[in-house]
Amino acid sequence: MGSMKKRILLFSFIILQIALFHHVFTLAKTPENYLKGKFYNSVKNNFLVATKKMKDNRFEKTVIVMLENDKDGAWGIVVNKPIGSIPLALLLDPSLSTSEEREELYKVNILIFWGGPVEVKEIFVLHSNEYQSKTTKNYGSISISQDYNILFDIAEKKGPEKSLVILGYSGWGSGQLEGEMERDHWILSDLDVDIIFEKESIKKWLKAYENSFIRL
C-alpha cells in the first residue's frame, strides 16, 4: 500500500512538472504571440531603441522615431546620428532658387542627420507642431515636412521652433521588425520630444533606453 502511494505521488509530481514546464514554455512564447496581436499599435509613435545585441553596425545605439507600422511593414527615422553641417544651399534644387538666394543660403550652415539606409537622398524635416505647410504631416507630438519652403524658412529664422533635417529613413518589410525584436535587437520606449531635439545627440540613446517599456 505504501509503495502504491509512493507511485501515485511520483506520478502526480511528474504531471505537475509537465504542467509547469508547459506553462513556462507558453510564457516564453508570449512575446511572439504578443507581437502578433498588439505589435502594430505598440510600435507606431514610439521610439525604437537599439539594444546592445544589435548586430548591424549602422544601427548601433540608434534611436528611431517610428512613424508607420502595419501588416505590410514599418518605417521610421533615426534621430541621433548627425552626419555634419553643410551649407543649406546644397540641399536645394538649383531650379527652385535664384543665384542671389543660393548665395545667401551658402552662408547658412545646417546640421544634417542620417535617418536610415533607405532613400538616402530624400529630405525629411522633423519638427515641432506649431509650424505647418502644405506638405506637413502630423504624427502626434511631432510633424514632418518635405517641401523646400521649410528650408527657406529655417534659413530666414521663420521655421519651426525645433527641427532636425534628416536624409533617408529606416524601413522593414512584413514581419521583419517583429523578428528583430524577438531576437532582442530592439526595445520600445515612450516617444519624448525633449529627447528628439536634445542638442547633444550622444545623450539620446541612453535617455531613450532608460525610458523603455518593452523588452523582449
Per residue in 63-93, pLDDT tens? 999 998 888 889 999 999 999 999 988 887 7
Range with the poorest average pLDDT among 6-20, 123-137, 177-191 = 6-20
pTM, two decimals, is: 0.79
Of the chain, the percentage scoring pLDDT greater than 90 comes to: 52
* Helix 2-28 / helix 30-43 crossing angle, nearest 10 deg: 20
128 within 8 A of 161, measured Cβ to Cβ: yes
When computed from its CA atoms, the radius of gyration of the chain, rounded to whole angstroms, is: 24
pLDDT in tens, 10-31: 445 444 443 443 433 333 333 4
